[in-house]
Chain A
Amino acid sequence: MIGFRFFIREFGLASAFIALGALLLICLWFSLSVQSSFLNEFRQDQLSLILDPTEKESFEQLMREESGVLRYSLQTAEENRDRIRSLYPELDSVIDSISIENFPVSALVIVEDGRKMMSFFETRPELIQAQMIHQAPDSLKTLISVATTIFLFLWVFTLILFLYFQLEGVAHRQSAKWSLMKMLGAKSSRIFLPLWGLQMTRLLVSSVCACVLAWWATSYLLSFSNWTWAGLGLNLSLGFILASLVLGSLCLYSLFLVQFRRVSVC
């Protein structure tokens, strides 16, 4: 019965560690992929402006003089009409019937600080008739950060439990030996190192399983979506395994010291 309970507990902890590790890896992969593709487009702030057609030269002069402007492009009324036409080919006849004066002259301005530049344009109403800022959606960034933090926390918590229950069992079984070794003046490292080797092997196997699970899950996600992201990279997997081992070693040593201090000399 004790053996069965031990097996269930071990199996449960290992499964939780592998599942949470895989979820953390998927979150990291998703975060990195979004950063490198979607959010990369919003690395700099973009402003869409509707210009007064008669002030086109003044606007261009202003863009050349303003230091906060990285680059800009102007779209004439004709260009904007053609773009609308290409976007909505079914409205072709309607668009043709609209006079060219009704299409705006616009500009796309890429700036260092979008909010600051918008405030500046508000002081020049003779040039700019309307403006709009394009920034990366904060909610997406927040969602990814929160999900990563939650899975990181859960994974670390499971890692601690994963090691704690093992160590508690070992300390219970080997308390006589630890006590005797302590009495003989053995350094704690004499007991810790063999224990460390065994637990790190366990952690390594579990981390590799988590990587395999995450790799399978990301491949599956990519297979039915039209994202063009790269799959789970080797660097990310190796980094995860290394982080598991380093963090695991630190946790194990801290837990071991607590257990070792509890064991009395006799």
Chain B
Amino acid sequence: MITLLREVGKLLFQFKKVHKSYGIQKIFRDLDFCLQRGTFSILTGASGSGKTTLFRLLCGVEKPTAGEIHFLGRRLVEHSPVHLRNIGFIFQSPRGLFDRTVFENVALPLMVDRVPRPEIESRVMAWLDDLGLRHRVKSKYGDLSGGEIQKLEFARAMIRRPRLVLADEPTAHLDAIQSDLLLDILWEHYRNGASVFISTHHPPKFHHPSILRYHIEDQQIRQLSSEEVHIPRLGEESSVQKKLELER
């Protein structure tokens, strides 16, 4: 299992003295931060600390007020938009096409890649099965509940099997069981060779040496040491899981 050790250490993203501010509100100051390839990284932080801004900087939607962001050794702005095809984005707020069906929304990345129709159908249906959305295949995006939208967004981000997943609060609108399901999928994806970077208020309830945990505070990002992370190791049951088991 263990993570693509051969790839760990290669830099995906590198922030060099990045400043980001909105007017007088400073979000990041002199931020030096690296995101390594082949890691499963989790970002935590208080609301308003800059988690979403960090993801927007990683996507290239926001530009730093000062400093540089490098992606795979080149400045982020120098990459062509096509490089986005290797990245699965999951945003906090919905990004789907409201007048299209669930199927069309999930299939969109494959349509962009000109994947043959039968393959699109099989892959979309497989994802909808996994996420329990099959019965909603013909529903309009606008008719879905918050949780269903979040799962649809997740399916759309993952359907290309991207080599990098950037997920901003992917489980914000889901209950604990659904959240765990999504995190399990992300973990499996990571074990299959991808890099995963998620921000969440509900970090996975297991520990693994490959998981890197970061925390935003005071306009900086700090990597948490194992002593600071108080969660059971993989295989141990947490009190929450025990409670859920009992509820079932």
Contacts and interface: CB of A to CB of B under 8 A. Distances in A.
Tell which of A176, A181, A183, A184 has the most Cβ of chain B within 10 Å: A184
Interface stretch (A71-79, A134-142, A185-193): A185-193
Interface string B74-115: 000000011111110101010111100000000011001000
Q: Pick the most buried of A179, A181, A264, A266: most chain B CB atoms within 10 A of its CB.
A: A266
Nearest to A177: B97
Contacts of B85: 184-185
B5 interface: no
Contacts of A186: 81, 112
Nearest to A179: B95
A265 interface: yes
A265 B61 contact: yes
A266 B83 contact: no
Interface string B114-152: 000000000000000000000000000000000000000
B45 interface: no
A185 B84 CA distance: 5
Contacts of B56: 266
A264 B61 contact: yes
A185 B95 contact: no
A117 B108 CA distance: 77
Interface string A229-266: 00000000000000000000000000000000000111
Interface in B172-199: none
Contact of B59 (A176, A180, A187, A266): A266
Contacts of A182: 81, 84
Contacts of A183: 59, 84, 89, 95
Given A176-B98, A180-B96, A183-B84, A265 B112 contact: no
Nearest to A176: B97
Contacts of B82: 185, 187
Interface string B55-79: 0100111000000000000000000
Given A183-B84, A185-B83, A190-B112, A265 B60 contact: yes
Contact of A266 (B95, B98, B108, B112): B95
Contacts of A177: 97
Contacts of A187: 81-82
B244 to A, nearest CB: 33
Contacts of B108: 180-181, 184
Contact of B97 (A180, A190, A264, A265): A180
Contacts of B109: 184
Contacts of A185: 81-87, 112
Interface string A117-157: 00000000000000000000000000000000000000000
Contacts of B84: 182-185, 265
A190 to B, nearest CB: 6
Contacts of B81: 182, 185-187
A183 to B, nearest CB: 6
B112 A181 contact: yes
A191 to B, nearest CB: 10
A188 to B, nearest CB: 8
Nearest to A180: B95
A41 to B, nearest CB: 61
B91 A184 contact: no
Contacts of A179: 95
Nearest to A182: B81
Given A180-B95, A183-B59, A265-B84, 17 more contacts: A176-B95, A177-B97, A180-B96, A181-B108, A181-B112, A183-B84, A183-B89, A184-B109, A185-B81, A185-B82, A185-B85, A186-B112, A187-B82, A266-B56, A266-B61, A266-B89, A266-B95
15 contacts: A176-B98, A177-B97, A181-B108, A184-B108, A184-B109, A185-B81, A185-B84, A185-B112, A187-B82, A265-B60, A265-B61, A266-B59, A266-B61, A266-B89, A266-B91
- Nearest first, the 8 A-B pairs at minimum CB distance are A185-B84, A185-B85, A186-B112, A265-B61, A184-B109, A184-B112, A185-B82, A180-B95
